[in-house]
Structure 1
Amino acid sequence: MDPSGAQYDGTMTDLGGESLAAERVARAVAAATNLIYAGTPICVLGTGAASRRLSEMLRGFGARVHEVSVDENGRIGQRQAGLPLIEMLFVCDPIEGERPDAAQQLPDLREILSADWLADGAIIVDAGVTALLEQLGAVADEQAEVHKKEVRPGVQLVYGAGFSRFLVRVQPSELPRTGPVSPSTRSVDGAPSPSTAPETSAVARGVARIDWARRFMRTTIRLADDLAATGLLRGRRIGVSLVLEPKTAVLALALAQAGGEVAVFANAGETDGEVAAALETLGITVFAAADAGADGDARHAAEILDWAPQLLIDDGAHLVRLAHTEHPAALDTLLGAAEETTSGVRPLREMAAEGALRLPVIAVNDARTKTLFDNVHGTGQSCVLAIADLLDAADVRGGAVRGGRWVVVGYGPVGVGVARHAAAMGASVTVVERDPVRALGALYDGYEVDTLAQAIVSADVVVSATGHAHTITVDALTEAADGCVFAVAGGVENEIDVDLALARGFRRTPVLPYVERLHRPDGGELVLLAGGDGVNYTAGEGNPIEIMDLSFATQILALRMLLDSVDSSGRSVLATGVYELRAEGERAVAQAALSARGVATEAWNAVKGAGNGGGWREHRYRRTGVGESGEHPPVPSGAEPPASGAKMDQ
């Protein structure tokens, strides 16, 4: 039942049914793979309105959507000049009751597997009733060199001599799956996972998920290998305090492979039990448990500081602040830290301004290779799709984003990403922002801008994207439209004032996992997602793998910057304070990511001069013939020097 009272008949052929079908396909593939759409070369093959809507949506997400030719018999054309290798292919039949655009036969699995424009390891999505997976058994039986196996729920690996493809089956008419996945136990290259545990064990499932993430984290692995070659990390203790899920596990294992001794910490709400168990089996010290509770979290936080790390990767600056307030002995061994988040950099700068910070910290969050990708594309996609999954599962407004009135509070990089992805899915977006420059930017990006008090009274969905506590106050919850949905993107504790609302007479009742109703004391109800925590890492697997690959590669460069500053006595020569990653570090991460994608770029060299190659003295109004020294240039033999002010040929 829609909490707003609106009725939805559940059919796929009503006006906008193709939009819901396209949304479900995009969401299901993201949930099954945890991969990013932005920047990915994608092709959508289909003959109906849903496939066109899917293409439009993916373009709005930032995907590089390309077309390939298919004739009336379903035969695929050859690769066209300039077409990149396609990494994700959607094959979409018209949804039930939808009239196709033309009498065109879609290609079968044999035709697709032989396409020369598909990248090795490409994702092939069977969206609709094309039954590509049903053909898989026949293809494997016909061709002995073709093999298949499941690597994640709903993801089949098809591989043979010199090729591999992944097949994902989704049905637009099916409700979404929410929450973390539990894949199988085999690694993506066909080898057994590095675990002797039974395939049904939590350890084996966790190892399989780490294997999958590692496949797409090529930049992190490459830069960790470079760090290993320097020997700088050998014997160093590194504490990693991040959301404990498969991507974090890949980072921890890469740092251990580079010579470090690694321990990880996370609070219970950010700990994936399967991944924690897998990491312990693989030799990483883990100070975390999914069932730890508040007391257990506090104990684990103290234990990782007592473990005496020399380098720290922090999230929210929680461990750095804990060391400064309650565990000062940890500062005796810490050479420096790297901070992942906006909400962590903010208090660190306050500490530095007050003279309270006692170690150098690299603001990884402020690096372009983090903020421009993790915050905008990663958090934007993962939060909006997680919200949409929960709305669909709870039948809020028929499950569709399209046509809904979304309010995004905060227009920093996270807010930009949330607004962009919601708009790409067809929502009408209003931005609430206190900074007038950012508010003006939202207006120029095509969104309405208003105050929270005005926007909230007609909103269907409100997303807090500020990273500040008490953004959504009890007054806002009281004034919101009945049935309004509230969620947090990224998030800090109490970004929505849930505890205070409960103290003032609100009641909460569960509807589905990660979905609750908030009953107001004076009547009416709201919908709260993920308990007011970050919706993407609570109700899903967090940011897409390739996005965290960039963030964690940036973390490795930050560690390199800290290690390069350690003198022969073993102490850092960096003064206490908050530092930005050097521009050459950002470029190194970006170049490694481009190379991993096979993208060629012009060689980087610093531009000198005033933009015309002649140095700063060369400008529009300089006296003709006067060189940088202020003298006339040498006159060729037999020529006369120009008169002062004379015009020379250009």
Structure 2
Amino acid sequence: MDSGDLKIEWARQYMPVLGTIADRFRKDKPFEGMTIGMALHVEAKTANLVKTLAAGGAQVFITGCNPLSTQDDVAQALDRVDGVTCYAKRGCSVDEYYSAMDAVLDAKPDITIDDGMDLIHRMHTSRRDVLTKIIGGCEETTTGIHRLRAMAEEGKLEFPVIAVNDTPMKRFFDNVHGTGESALTAIMATTNNLIAGKWLVVAGFGYCGRGIARKASGLGAKVIVTEVDPRRALEAYMEGYHVMPMNKAAEIGDIFITTTGNKDIINEQHFKLLKDGAILSNAGHFNVEIDGAWLNKNAEQIIERDGIQSYLINGRTIHLLAEGRLVNLAVPKGMGHPIEVMDLSFALQALGTRFIAEHHTELKPGVHAVPDSIDREVASIKLASLGLGIDTLSADQEHYMCSWDVGT
């Protein structure tokens, strides 16, 4: 076994939920005769999802969804799996990135699985030739769902897509614990900086921001939250975090992590306020939250080391991690979310894909929720793998909870 195979096997040991589903798929072959096109972060955990779909009878074509998140040895190992073709490459140019997407679409997929919606976007713009065969898709992340809902509201989304990101099993575990741990781990591994005692600024208090704030606080950081939603800002305040606008936080923060999914969260006005040695990173999907283009054009880049670009502004040095791309995957030592977390998320992807295969004729074009039964199924398989049991409601309790005419 080479390094890619060893990584995939290591991850497999800690993915019991996906393993249970793979066993079912080998028996039932829900994707027999189907082609699945994927654009995801190509690393060991993703490889186990791909192998699960191939075990279910699918021909799988996959590329990366971020130019810096592919692990080349894993991509090469995947390409050797029967029924799988992998086009992903780390450090690809923009042209290479979209050429690889086109190669996936050349396979004329029946179902797509996206992380960020780039594949679906391309299908609806420059590759409309593939829309006649497609029956549906799944989307993994918050940013992709935002884009899909905007398409659907304008009547531009031409097939059903399952919003895997929006289900409780994804938000509570992947977004909170996965992003929280992996973003901080990547920052610490890349910079060798201490978190304890630092002013750590989290931009956005959604599920990802909550997770980062909670984990950073546990490591001893003094956490500042910036927000545009007054309710989330108040929630952050009630949980004990400092709340202020970014132009104030910029003067205080030692480490910054953006999680909003929006653009220009840290920009020119903030760069000029930052302390000497400030570290900037992004845990949102695309590299638009920190205005790296302004830095490259207007600031003096004084040194570049693995995963860090350093700039001189007004006599102060600031450090940008991973070109402002997804820090937990794009830095050289980034491993992405913990294996056990992605076991749950990829189980949702696998079962969501099966749901599309079996029920696509019942679904109209647009964004659809993961059926609650699938969400609960994933939780139940995980509990069983941990040897944990839970209570069940009696018939009388169920009647009580569903009735309106039973008083106190």
TM-score between the two structures when normalised by the length of structure 2: 0.95
**Residue 376 of structure 2 corresponds to which residue in structure 1?**
587
8 Å Cα contact 1:490-1:536 kept in structure 2: no
| Structure 1 residues 343-362: aligned runs within 5 Å | 343-362=143-162
Q: Alpha-carbon deviation of 1:307?
A: 0.8
**Residue 53 of structure 2 corresponds to which residue in structure 1?**
255
Q: Deviations over 1:233-282 (max 9, x none)?
A: 11211112110000111111111112111111115322211011111122
1:544 maps to 2:338? yes
3-state SS of 2:22 partner: helix
Q: Alpha-carbon deviation of 1:388?
A: 1.8
2:29 aligned to which of 231, 244, 254: 231
Q: Alpha-carbon deviation of 1:482?
A: 2.3
Mean CA deviation greater in 343-352 or 526-535: 526-535
Structure 2 letter corresponding to 1:506: A
TM-aligned CA distance change 1:241 to 1:549, over 3 Å:
same
Provide the rounded CA distance (Å) in 2 between the counterparts of 1:517 and 1:453. 21
1:497 maps to 2:297? no
**Residue 562 of structure 1 corresponds to which residue in structure 2?**
356
8 Å Cα contact 2:5-2:74 kept in structure 1: yes
TM-aligned CA distance change 1:274 to 1:212, over 3 Å:
same
3-state SS of 1:316 partner: coil
8 Å Cα contact 2:25-2:55 kept in structure 1: no
Structure 2 letter corresponding to 1:474: E
**Residue 455 of structure 1 corresponds to which residue in structure 2?**
249
**Residue 347 of structure 2 corresponds to which residue in structure 1?**
553
1:330 maps to 2:109? no
1:278 aligned to which of 74, 77, 84: 77
- Higher RCO, Cα 8 Å, sep 6+: 2
Provide the rounded CA distance (Å) in 2 between the counterparts of 1:291 and 1:459. 30
Provide the rounded CA distance (Å) in 2 between the counterparts of 1:234 and 1:359. 21
8 Å Cα contact 2:199-2:252 kept in structure 1: yes
Provide the rounded CA distance (Å) in 1 between the counterparts of 2:99 and 2:181. 34
Q: Deviations over 1:521-567 (max 9, x none)?
A: x322211112211111012111111111100000112112212214x
Provide the rounded CA distance (Å) in 1 between the counterparts of 2:405 and 2:392. 27
Q: CA RMSD in A?
A: 1.7
1:441 maps to 2:239? no
Count residues with an aligned counterpart: 403
3-state SS of 2:260 partner: coil
**Residue 212 of structure 2 corresponds to which residue in structure 1?**
418
8 Å Cα contact 2:197-2:221 kept in structure 1: yes
2:90 aligned to which of 267, 279, 290: 290
Q: Deviations over 1:183-224 (max 9, x none)?
A: xxxxxxxxxx4xxxxxxxxxx110011110111111012123
By percentage of residues, which structure has more helix?
2
8 Å Cα contact 1:384-1:422 kept in structure 2: yes
2:4 aligned to which of 206, 229, 234: 206
Provide the rounded CA distance (Å) in 1 between the counterparts of 2:34 and 2:129. 18
**Residue 67 of structure 2 corresponds to which residue in structure 1?**
268
8 Å Cα contact 1:487-1:529 kept in structure 2: yes
Provide the rounded CA distance (Å) in 2 between the counterparts of 1:390 and 1:278. 26
Q: Alpha-carbon deviation of 1:473?
A: 1.3
**Residue 529 of structure 1 corresponds to which residue in structure 2?**
321
1:602 aligned to which of 363, 381, 391: 391
Q: Alpha-carbon deviation of 1:226?
A: 2.5
Q: Deviations over 1:398-456 (max 9, x none)?
A: x3211111111100011011111111110000100111111111112111111111111
8 Å Cα contact 1:609-1:616 kept in structure 2: no
**Residue 362 of structure 2 corresponds to which residue in structure 1?**
573
3-state SS of 2:131 partner: helix
Provide the rounded CA distance (Å) in 1 between the counterparts of 2:322 and 2:296. 16
Provide the rounded CA distance (Å) in 1 between the counterparts of 2:200 and 2:73. 35
8 Å Cα contact 2:184-2:212 kept in structure 1: yes
Structure with max Cα Rg: 1
> Structure 2: where are the runs of 5+ without partners?
none
1:378 aligned to which of 178, 197, 219: 178
**Residue 156 of structure 1 corresponds to which residue in structure 2?**
none
TM-score between the two structures when normalised by the length of structure 1: 0.60
